[in-house]
Structure 1
Amino acid sequence: MKATVERATLMKSLGHVQSVVERRNTIPILSNVLIETSENGEIKLTATDLDLQIVESFAANNVETAGSITVPAHTLFDIVRKLPDGSEVQLNAADGRMAVNAGRARFSLQTLPRDDFPKIAEGDLPTSFEMPSSTLMEIIEKTRFAISSDETRYYLNGIFMHVSDDAEPTLKAAATDGHRLARYTLARPAGAEGMPDVIIPKKCVTEIHKLLGEAGDNMVRVDLSASKIRFTFAASVLTSKLIDGTFPDYNRVIPTGNDKLLTINPKAFFQGVDRVATIATERTRAVKMALEQDKITLSVTSPENGTAAEEVSGTYSNDEFEIGFNANYLKDILNEIESDTVELHLADASAPTLIREHDKSPSLYVLMPMRV
């Protein structure tokens, strides 16, 4: 195998594939990236951790000899990253080694044969639809912060996607860690009818988010079955196993009868919570919110650090009461609110609170209170 490619092109693609490769592997081949060159001048990079697979395709400056080989992914990425801007990289594999040359720099890497490289068997992916990359980005950004990292509840370690026949057919994405819930609703894309309920793993979500950041305003094709999902971008194909578990019926925790309404500016609210939470410790990360007529007082009491309090303006006309929230969880939600106002629908100090921009908003959040 012998090919020449622009350093910037190679680095961009290696940046995508090497992040799929785990730093520590008991199976040596999984530390490698598969490089395939074809006579039509295309280079294809493939990496996998056996649950997630990414394939990147791009044009080479020149392919002298077509072929395929695997080399250590992180090492190759680090080499290319440190090469001079604008340089041309020559890749030449023969006799169990691959030479990586650029300008006066010369590297020789150990290789493993491509026949040992595993590929994820996709099987049949009967559900297929497309959506704009900006829509998929919105779905991920509005929900991923609520994904659980508790591995004992593995079925919460991802984003749950399902179709629903409400007044109109919809596609919904939800994530929860048991303390907060984030849900995003959009019109069901053509082709998504009959789609199985799926849980997309956190690592897959992270890698899609990276790809979407560079996808521009293109369409993304989604193909899935009950066990696998594939995202096809212009130059990348990401395939992942799905979490084999049952996501809880999250609709049961979305409150419908909360009768106390607080309307507030999310940025001012975020800044107030952030300031008083400065003195909070791991044990006292709760911020207390005291509600009176159009007056909200935020406070934190920490035995180690002292106390903090701040008044923020808002619209509230119900009974006075106090409620506590985890400051970080509350800030995570407020961070996703893009309008000038946010609604908090409250019931009492022990009941979940519903948070949304307005009743037509595609995003909806539920936050469990804390004792203060």
Structure 2
Amino acid sequence: MIRFSVADFAAAAKALRSIPNSAIRVDIYEHARLHAAANQMVLTMSDMEMEAHITMPCVCEGEILAAIPMAVLEFFIARSTGGAEGTLEFDAAMRNVTARIGKARMTIAILRGEDFVSFEKIDPAWSIGLRAHELCGALRKCEDAIAEDGTRFYLEGVFMTPRNGELLAVATNGHHLHLTALDLPDEAQIEGWHGMIIPENAVGKILKLFADDESAVLVSGSKGFISIAAERIRLIAKLIDHDYVDFQRVIPEAGDFSIVVDGKALEQCAATLTLIPKVDGKGRRETARAVRITPAAEDNEILVEMRGTLGEAQDRLPAEIVGSGEPITIDVRYLRQMIAAAGDGKVRLAPCRGDAARIRCFGPREADTFIIMQRHF
């Protein structure tokens, strides 16, 4: 029998149940591997592309290894309020388990824990100590630019690489590019490491498991795998095995003309203007919309415009205009994503030197840069 806090178990179950990929139906991986001994229990879930381990305190009679079905996890999640104690009691043949909370119980068949195949032990070739929220912040700034066209699989993730004392994170889909940087700690062990591509699914799981956590994590890996380990939780994921594009070659220098504007005000303005309806030839609402930003240096403001099927909408915002230049036209979806990734504060939009078709955007941190292709208005 195992005794434990229902709140602890339910929190672990909520985090783990998102790991299995619904597109991959393997019976054993619709279970959680449970290994308990003495005063510690480890729950593991996997989908053959990534796996997560969560450790929690417990009181255990002997050592227990089993694969318990998802229904047991949901049983404790459904009754996670309060500080109740829960138990798991296994029969002598290790064929069934009985889960109990107070007077509620569930008895269900289990599988052999030995049949739950985990990733082999990874001997890290590199390691970096970070704060969880720093890692998640970098990934969140890049995730909207991950490619999803299914033809360039090496772009379907976030590329992270060390460069000049920084850890760069970048994603691009050909229409826009997001780049951010973190300071590499002095104790980082990165000799011989050139970078990794974290697939989109793993990015989402990292954000789900570690977002808003300010505790320290150890990010490490070897060829083909990444491991992110906190005090009680560890995620291991397969990486995309391919070289990333030479992204720095496609990042041009910003030109002398630029517009500096409050990001939140610009986002709210764009959201208001999109209320004017625009439909395609089949009457379907168009999501790809162009917003035009025209500088008015004499008034220290910008004119923001959007066209609809039967009319147009516009607004004006205070802005700092540096130099002179033509109106900037950007897909409103990419503009919103850029502002969200840049964070609170002012954003700077600057056509690239020698290539005005590309707009280089900077957030409050100069380490955050975004490139968006202009489009026809």
Q: What is the TM-score of this pair, normalised by structure 1?
A: 0.91
Aligned twin of 2:181: 185
Give the CA RMSD over aligned residues.
2.1
Summarize deviations over 1:207-243 as a string: whole Å, max 9, x none.
222222363x321111112211111101011111110
Give how far 1:21 is off. Answer: 1.4
| Alpha-carbon distance in 1 for matches of 2:23, 2:322 | 57
Instruction: Say if 1:48 and 1:284 are closer, same or farther in 2 by CA, change over 3 A.
Output: closer
Give the conservation status (yes or no) of the 8 Å contact 2:7–2:80: no
Aligned twin of 1:77: 73
Give how far 1:66 is off. Answer: 2.2
Unpaired stretches in structure 2, ≥5 consecutive residues: 279-284
Give the conservation status (yes or no) of the 8 Å contact 1:292–1:320: no
| Alpha-carbon distance in 2 for matches of 1:15, 1:230 | 20
SS at 2:274's partner residue? helix
Give how far 1:37 is off. Answer: 0.9
SS at 2:111's partner residue? coil
| Alpha-carbon distance in 1 for matches of 2:328, 2:266 | 15
Is 1:247 aligned with 2:239?
A: no
**AA of the residue aligned to 1:362:** A
Aligned twin of 2:115: 116
Instruction: Say if 1:137 and 1:284 are closer, same or farther in 2 by CA, change over 3 A.
Output: closer
What is the identity percentage for the equivalent residue pairs of Structure 1 and Structure 2?
23
Instruction: Say if 1:349 and 1:195 are closer, same or farther in 2 by CA, change over 3 A.
Output: closer
Aligned twin of 1:201: 199
Aligned twin of 1:51: 49
Q: Which runs of 4+ in 1 moved over 6 A?
A: none
Give how far 1:198 is off. Answer: 0.5
**AA of the residue aligned to 2:169:** A
Unpaired stretches in structure 1, ≥5 consecutive residues: none
Give how far 1:84 is off. Answer: 5.5
Summarize deviations over 1:21-72 as a string: whole Å, max 9, x none.
123543211111101111x211110111111011111101x21242111122
Is 1:298 aligned with 2:294?
A: no
Give how far 1:283 is off. Answer: 5.5
**AA of the residue aligned to 2:36:** T
SS at 1:336's partner residue? helix
Give how far 1:93 is off. Answer: 2.0
| Alpha-carbon distance in 1 for matches of 2:325, 2:49 | 51
Aligned twin of 2:291: 287
Aligned twin of 1:141: 140
Aligned twin of 1:364: 369
Give the conservation status (yes or no) of the 8 Å contact 2:360–2:369: yes
Give the conservation status (yes or no) of the 8 Å contact 1:147–1:158: yes
Correspondences of 1:338-349 after superposition (within 5 Å): 338-347=343-352
Instruction: Say if 1:317 and 1:207 are closer, same or farther in 2 by CA, change over 3 A.
Output: closer
Q: What is the TM-score of this pair, normalised by structure 2?
A: 0.90
Give the conservation status (yes or no) of the 8 Å contact 2:157–2:198: yes
Give the conservation status (yes or no) of the 8 Å contact 1:300–1:309: yes
The number of residues matched between the two structures is 362
| Alpha-carbon distance in 1 for matches of 2:223, 2:216 | 23
Is 1:277 aligned with 2:283?
A: no
| Alpha-carbon distance in 2 for matches of 1:357, 1:82 | 42
SS at 1:80's partner residue? helix
Summarize deviations over 1:230-263 as a string: whole Å, max 9, x none.
1110101111111012211111221204231111
Instruction: Say if 1:253 and 1:278 are closer, same or farther in 2 by CA, change over 3 A.
Output: farther
Deviates most, 11-20 or 349-358: 349-358
